Chains A and B, each alone.
Chain A
Amino acid sequence: MSTPRRKRNPLPAIAQAGPVSLWMILFVTLPMLFIIYISFMTRGTFGGVEYTPTLEAYKTMMDATYFAVILKSLQVAVVTTLVCLLLGYPFAYFIARKPPETASRLIMLLMIPLWTNSLMRLNAWMLLFQTNGPVNKFLLSAGLIHSPITFIYTDGLVLLGLITNFLPFAVLPMYSSIEKLQTAMLEASADLGAKPSVTFRKVTLPLTFPGIFSAIILTFIPALGTYTITDMLGGGKVLYIGNIIKNQFGTIRNWPLGAALSVLLLVITALLIFLYSRFARIEDMEVL
């Protein structure tokens, strides 16, 4: 079917896009450009920025110490994303195949933690996993362990915090994709002789791919940049990109380095979105 011809609008395109563009330029583009600009400047002796161009910040970033942190952050973000996808997809599928009222109730349950203050949630994890917290007490009384396990300030607890925090962001776009998948597609596949596993691989997965990719973007990028979760559950003992950026802008006051690290996150994000646009049309993207 041909799309109906758009009616000629009396306002020129720039005027139509004007208010939104202005808003975007003022509050998104300009700050971003400023960050990029700062990242190429010199660190001020007493903090702040001296406006002499240099690549110093990027050189520092490639130092073994920082590079290791970047690698580790990437690694943790990848694991978080994978776990969120593996846990989230079956869950999203389960919800999507429920009748609408049940589905919206389940979605609600998923959303409630998101409306709770994240600091409270993180503190709850801390309390649960303290050395003499309920989890250790339970394990001890069940005879599964003989001395309490140190959970807090470990990579494991950070990972748990990341996964529980980002799981809803993974489930929602995938749910939205799976919900749109018509059962007739699955029936057609079965009718043509495909077993359920084949149908999943050849029909379900490709058709819900936009949701999966949105889930990746919505989990991977924030997981890479987060600092509250890593700060609280990792106790500053384990460093991640987010913490370093926060420290550079905060206590250490090396703004160009903080900016350079931010630019790195920006580039990774842009790369992912570029990849996505190659695979799927942008209008298919499941954004919340």
Chain B
Amino acid sequence: MADSIVSLRHVDKWYGDNHVVKDLNLEIMEGEFLTLLGPSGCGKTTTLRMIAGFEDASGGIIEVQGERVEEKEPYQRDVNTVFQNYSLFPHMTVFDNVAYGPTIRKVPKAKIKEDVTRMLALVQMSGYERRKPDALSGGQKQRVAIARALINNPRVLLLDEPLGALDLKLRKQMQIELKRLQRKLGITFVYVTHDQEEAMTMSDRIAVMKDGVILQVDAPLDIYDRPNCRFVADFIGESNILDGTVISVDDGLLTVETPDGILTSRGEGFQAGEKICVSIRPEYLSVSRQPAEGFTLRAVIRDFINMGTVIKTNLDLPSGQEIRFSRFELDPDLREGDELYLCWDPAKSVPIHLDPEEVSP
């Protein structure tokens, strides 16, 4: 296991009476691509800004490379930031923007020129040295902003929704480029986004945040396959979430009664009588004309949505809840209005304990 390069311990942030980051603990490893993912207002950007030094932590410890930085000003910290709106200096050329950091550190002119040239080549912006930021497209500005940060050889690069303003196609392309750049340079990236797909594509680990709390930190696939709470199951990817009560536990195999029927799931640490929810991904869900063992859920096909690569089928449970399953190819026998039985491999579904406040009487 690599060493931790940024460590946040019991970090709090208050804006007046507003507790935006709550007792946050996170170890960011050397050389990893870690994403802070969450809906807007979850405290992810505030957390990033506390690492950069733009916001003071109201409490707790922040360490970068084993050194406490809470009292340090942004210009004293060895991290660099790529901002959401690029924040290039409009009165300077691309060259001067990228040269800004080394110029302030009084690096010799010849070395600066060499470094800027190398950095612009790295982000594929050679030949744009004399341009002003106004004459660049959004994607080009972001490349320059990345070069301007990387020229300072930071051990940690902080990225605050850097691709948020780009159109979808360019964003996808830049995601891959950024990931490759990070691998090539071996720098730790701390990346903030609200786009779960982006987080899945790029990250080594994802920290899912909600209301100032980190709910789960794991590799993308682990988060996808083993969400530890209802919010994560719902936020990452698409999920069918069914509420019910455990009626029997047999060696990890749970029989759960929901308002729409019985289902089976697999998981440890559950007791009969406990109210839980079960998450099942659309691609793991199956339908059949006959009920399968351990399942009595029935649903009616409402419609089909062709997404290009997959076809999504929406079904209605008797309670009115909508269920989705997706397949690469559609069974030609299925028609809208057909009544079908739902089932799945119990090991592919995830039983989830409910938070105390989620348990309704």
Contact = CB atoms under 8 A, between A and B. Distances in A.
A191 B74 contact: yes
A195 interface: yes
Contact of A185 (B54, B87, B148, B149): B87
Interface string A250-270: 000000000000000000000
Interface string A183-200: 011011111111100100
A190 B75 contact: yes
B2 interface: no
Interface in B82-107: 83, 85, 87-91, 100-101, 104-105
Contacts of B53: 190
Contacts of A189: 89, 100
Given A187-B54, A188-B83, A193 B89 contact: no
Contacts of A100: none
B137 interface: yes
B73 A184 contact: no
Contact of B81 (A182, A185, A188, A206): A188
A121 B284 CA distance: 82
B80 interface: yes
Contact of B100 (A182, A192, A195): A192
Interface string B140-172: 000000001100100000000000000000000
Nearest to A190: B74
A203 interface: yes
Nearest to B90: A207
Interface in B38-83: 52-54, 73-75, 79-81, 83
Interface in A1-27: 1
Interface in A158-215: 182, 184-185, 187-195, 198, 202-203, 206-207
A193 B152 contact: yes
A193 B104 CA distance: 7
B104 A194 contact: yes
A206 B53 CA distance: 25
A189 B74 CA distance: 9
Best-surrounded residue of B80, B91, B105, B149 (most CB of chain A within 10 A)? B91
B73 A190 contact: yes
Interface residues of B, number: 24
* Interface secondary structure of A, over-half rule: helix
Given A1-B137, A187-B54, A198-B104, A192 B80 contact: yes
A185 B75 contact: no
Contact of B83 (A187, A193, A194, A202): A187
Given A1-B137, A193-B105, A194-B104, A187 B152 contact: no
Contacts of B80: 191-192
A188 B53 CA distance: 11
B91 A206 contact: yes
A195 B105 CA distance: 11
A191 B74 CA distance: 5
A198 to B, nearest CB: 6
A207 B92 CA distance: 10
Contacts of A198: 104
A188 B87 contact: yes
A203 to B, nearest CB: 6
A151 B223 CA distance: 79
A187 B137 contact: no
B85 to A, nearest CB: 6
A212 to B, nearest CB: 13
B81 A193 contact: no
A184 B75 contact: no
A195 B53 CA distance: 13
Contact of B52 (A1, A185, A191, A207): A191
Contacts of A190: 53-54, 73-75
B190 to A, nearest CB: 13
Given A190-B74, A190-B75, A203 B89 contact: yes
Q: Which 8 A-B pairs have the closest CB atoms?
A: A190-B74, A188-B87, A192-B101, A184-B87, A190-B75, A191-B81, A206-B91, A193-B104
27 contacts: A182-B85, A187-B52, A187-B54, A187-B81, A187-B87, A188-B83, A188-B87, A188-B88, A189-B89, A189-B100, A190-B73, A190-B75, A191-B54, A191-B74, A191-B75, A191-B81, A192-B80, A192-B101, A192-B104, A192-B149, A193-B75, A193-B104, A193-B152, A203-B89, A207-B89, A207-B90, A207-B91
Interface of A: 1, 182, 184-185, 187-195, 198, 202-203, 206-207
Given A184-B83, A193-B105, 16 more contacts: A182-B85, A182-B87, A184-B85, A185-B87, A187-B52, A187-B81, A188-B81, A188-B88, A189-B100, A190-B53, A191-B75, A198-B104, A202-B100, A202-B104, A206-B91, A207-B90
